[in-house]
């Protein structure tokens, strides 16, 4: 992901220090590595009545008059106490609004969570995530009263609860306390909620945890081969899945000079992973192909980044993590789809062998690329990945996810991911999917003038533009030059959405952005004609 660079003196000093520090773990040697703590999630169950264990009670309410119908098992004294507390706190029942109460009846803790007036699946999921995160430190069993809500809504709440339980403090020492109690959703739509959660909810919670874990772990724990190994472990035993991996030698045979160029400065060689999943009942025709940028750590290479916040560049493989996570969710739920995840993986480091600004690389499709900035490396990985997809697959559509540019965040803040496409029907389906799951996209232009901005006097194309204009758009234009205009294609620049600080539904770090969007998109995909 391209950011501003330091002065030459500082850049050379940091590059030299980095090279020295890396000289120890060579030829298979490695430094001692701490082990990440596994995710801990409560056992989830659905019941028609309130369990005997009176630990934490959660009351999702959209209006004051819902209290009586939502929680009939409360005694009159308990309902009166909750009603008085809501009035005293001027609770407005807005979505995600919370009120925490203790010392009422036999309950150790009562949490009221607002539902708001206009609720749909993604809103219920977010509310569930807020509850899950709010109760992370509670050891007691949790009872969530959902009478009167549809089975779909209850399943969404349960899925969100699992997402909210995610922790990103993977290497922090934790006390070995008592195991947390389970969570029971009390519902009059028990069968429907149970079936939906078992079929799709559990798979999504697991896929999101995998995606966020691999994005949050440090660069010394996750590099190209480790990413592949973790993916193989996650998919092990899942019907309909095959995984192929291109190593350095195979990439060299295929002429994949772009991805090999990015990986030259690292002792950890690049890989390209291809995960195929075809479920029973999948439609005929070619697969939907999801391609994700997988820079497992990005120093910027010779065009080195500033040191401030460089540690966060472990997230520069979020696109690869999300496309792999989306296929994991689809495969574990045995969705009737034909989908392929392609993850080009490399580590971008400064070294004596690293590519330099001004170097020319040749991609797999024969196009030559003049490297202007080695920190614009993600597009190089995707160029070879696209070329491989076009040569080896007959895709119904190609969608890529990439933490590609800082420019997209300057255009859209952290409200939308950027969407670029030459194919209107495909863009519309992606936007609909984003709106449905709460991962919104904003369509940005691919103007014809970008071709001139990316022109080179020595090669077919530059890897950055000649000016300081539409950085996200010119990056999208570059990608578009490596995929046929006859193939429906869309590019999602998620650099501003993949990673953030903590909020009420997630901890610091990865948001797993794109997993739910792509899951919905693939399940509901309608064929798109090729051509612009």
* Residue ranges per structural domain of the chain: 8-22+217-523, 44-199
Q: Confidence band (pLDDT; 50, 70, 90) for 11?
A: very low
CA distances from 433 to 270, 335, 444 (A): 32, 16, 17
Residues 508-530 have a mean pLDDT of 96
Active site residues: 305, 379
Give me the DSSP letters along 59-103.
EEESSTTHHHHH-TTS-HHHHHHHHHHHHHTT----TT-EEEE-S
pTM for the structure as a whole: 0.92
pLDDT value, residue 196: 97
CA distances from 379 to 1, 154, 243, 356, 373 (A): 9, 41, 23, 16, 11
Please give the mean pLDDT across all residues of the chain. Answer: 92
Residue 420 burial (C-beta neighbours within 10 Å; 0-12, 13-18, 19+): buried
Predicted confidence (pLDDT) at residue 5 exceeds the cutoff of 60:
no
What percentage of residues in the chain have a pLDDT greater than 70? 93
Tens digits of per-residue pLDDT, 254-302?
Answer: 999 999 999 999 999 999 999 999 999 999 999 999 999 999 999 999 9
Which residues fall within 8 angstroms of residue 473, CB to CB, at 6 or more apart?
420, 444, 445, 446, 447, 450
pLDDT value, residue 469: 74
Give the CATH architecture of domain 44-199: 3-Layer(aba) Sandwich (3.40)
Please give the class, per CATH, of domain 8-22+217-523.
alpha beta
Beta-strand pair 241-246/499-500: unpaired
Beta-strand pair 368-370/461-462: parallel
Which one is predicted more confidently, 462 or 22? 462
Distance CA 377, CA 371 (A): 9
Distance CA 327, CA 338 (A): 10
Tens digits of per-residue pLDDT, 438-462?
Answer: 999 999 999 999 999 999 999 999 9
Predicted confidence (pLDDT) at residue 24 exceeds the cutoff of 90:
no
């Amino acid at each position: 992901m391209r950011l501003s660079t330091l002065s030459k003196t500082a850049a050379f000093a940091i590059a030299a220090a980095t090279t020295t520090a890396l000289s120890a773990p060579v030829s298979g040697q490695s430094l001692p590595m701490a082990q990440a703590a596994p995710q801990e999630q409560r056992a989830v169950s659905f019941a028609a009545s309130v369990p005997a264990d009176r630990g934490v009670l959660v009351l999702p309410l959209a209006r004051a008059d819902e209290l009586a119908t939502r929680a009939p098992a409360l005694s009159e004294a308990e309902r009166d106490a909750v009603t008085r507390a809501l009035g005293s706190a001027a609770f407005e029942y807005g979505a995600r609004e919370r009120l925490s109460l203790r010392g009422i009846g036999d309950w150790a803790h009562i949490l009221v969570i607002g539902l708001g007036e206009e609720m749909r699946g993604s809103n219920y999921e977010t509310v569930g995530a807020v509850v899950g995160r709010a109760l992370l430190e509670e050891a007691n069993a949790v009872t969530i009263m959902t009478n009167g809500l549809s089975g779909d809504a209850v399943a969404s709440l349960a899925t969100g609860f699992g997402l909210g339980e995610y922790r990103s403090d993977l290497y922090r020492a934790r006390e070995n306390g008592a195991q947390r109690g389970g969570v029971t959703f009390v519902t009059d739509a028990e069968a429907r909620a149970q079936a939906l959660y078992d079929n799709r909810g559990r798979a999504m919670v697991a896929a999101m945890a995998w995606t966020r874990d691999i994005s949050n772990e440090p660069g010394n724990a996750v590099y190209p081969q480790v990413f592949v190994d973790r993916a193989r472990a996650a998919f092990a035993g899942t019907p309909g899945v095959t995984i192929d991996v291109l190593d350095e030698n195979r990439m060299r045979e295929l002429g994949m000079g772009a991805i090999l160029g990015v990986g030259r400065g690292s002792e950890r060689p690049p890989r390209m992973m291809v995960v195929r999943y075809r479920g029973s009942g999948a439609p005929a025709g070619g697969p939907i192909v999801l391609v994700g940028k997988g820079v497992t750590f990005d120093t910027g290479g010779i065009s080195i980044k500033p040191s401030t916040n460089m540690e966060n560049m472990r997230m520069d493989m979020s696109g690869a993590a999300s496309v792999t996570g989306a296929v994991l969710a689809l495969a574990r739920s045995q969705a009737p789809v034909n989908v392929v995840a392609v993850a080009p993986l490399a580590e971008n480091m400064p070294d004596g062998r690293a590519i330099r600004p001004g170097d020319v690389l040749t991609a797999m499709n024969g196009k030559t690329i003049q490297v202007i900035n080695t920190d614009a490396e993600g597009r190089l990985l995707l160029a070879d990945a696209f070329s491989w997809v076009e040569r080896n697959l007959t895709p119904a559509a190609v969608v890529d996810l990439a933490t590609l540019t800082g420019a997209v965040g300057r255009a859209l803040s952290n409200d939308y991911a950027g969407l670029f496409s030459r194919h209107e029907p495909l863009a519309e389906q992606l936007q609909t999917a984003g709106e449905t799951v709460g991962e919104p996209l904003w369509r940005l232009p691919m103007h014809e003038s970008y071709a001139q901005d990316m022109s080179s006097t020595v090669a077919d194309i530059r890897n950055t533009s000649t000016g300081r204009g539409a950085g996200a758009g010119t990056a999208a234009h570059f990608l578009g030059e490596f995929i046929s205009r006859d193939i429906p294609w869309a590019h999602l620049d998620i650099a501003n959405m993949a990673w953030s600080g903590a909020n009420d539904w997630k901890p610091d770090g990865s948001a797993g952005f794109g997993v739910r969007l792509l899951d919905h998109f693939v399940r509901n995909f309608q064929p798109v004609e090729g051509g612009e």
